[in-house]
Amino acid sequence: MISNQKWMLHGALSLAVVLSAAEVRAQKLETPGAPAAEAAPTTSSAGPTGFGDSGQFVLSAENLFGFTYDHPSSGTSRTTYGLLASPFGVVATPYEWPRLAFDYFLTKSISAGAGIGFARSTSGSDAIYAFQVAPRLGYGMMVGPWLAVWPQVGVTYVNSTGQSYLGLTINLAAVILVAPHLAITVAPEGNIGLSGTQNGSSLKLTTAGLQFGLAMPF
């Protein structure tokens, strides 16, 4: 009998030791401030995710159609409407010739780029040329899930046979994103004439209007 009691007492003590150790371990796991398991590293996108992000490149086709009010320093003002206007046509407004543009976002929202246009017209053995270059700086940012604003300032220089103009260009473009790499641009634009010549005479040309185009951000 005494032997059985000893075995029962020994078993009870062993069970108490095991339960005590389990309780201590549980308390350690629930102690505030205990180091948590390391979170899995998150991966970030390697390229731009929204319009105006640093490192974004934008290819644009500008001045595809729109209207312009021209005010020369001498002569008669006029309003013109153009669709893919030719530099040599009757609706040619020099600052608003259709052109390609290339812009790069140097940092978040800050872009630098230029618009470039070129044309050549022949009649028999004669040929005339026209070109345009428009360097600019811009500030682009998203203002909605599909809408961005992209004001730009720069200068535009145009030259063709018998005429050349230089203007300070202010562009207040809205960018409507219709797909990840396609947007429609709606751009109120003004050009303040700085200098110019027409058929050998000094002539400054100032314009204001609204131009539409396409943009492809990458």
Domains and CATH numbers, the chain: 57-217 (2.40.160.20)
Strand spans (E) along the chain? 57-72, 78-83, 99-105, 110-123, 126-139, 141-142, 147-160, 163-179, 182-198, 201-202, 205-217
**Which is nearest to 83 in space by CA: 216, 218, 214, 211?**
211
SS3 annotation, 56-82: CEEEEEEEEEEEEEEEECCCCCEEEEE
Residue 35 has pLDDT above 90, yes or no: no
pLDDT digits 0-9 by tens, 181-193 = 999 999 999 999 9
Q: Output the average pLDDT for the chain.
A: 82
As a whole number, mean pLDDT of residues 106-122 equals: 94
- Give every CB contact of residue 172 below 8 A, 6+ residues apart in sequence: 149, 151, 187, 188, 189
**pTM of the entire predicted model:** 0.74
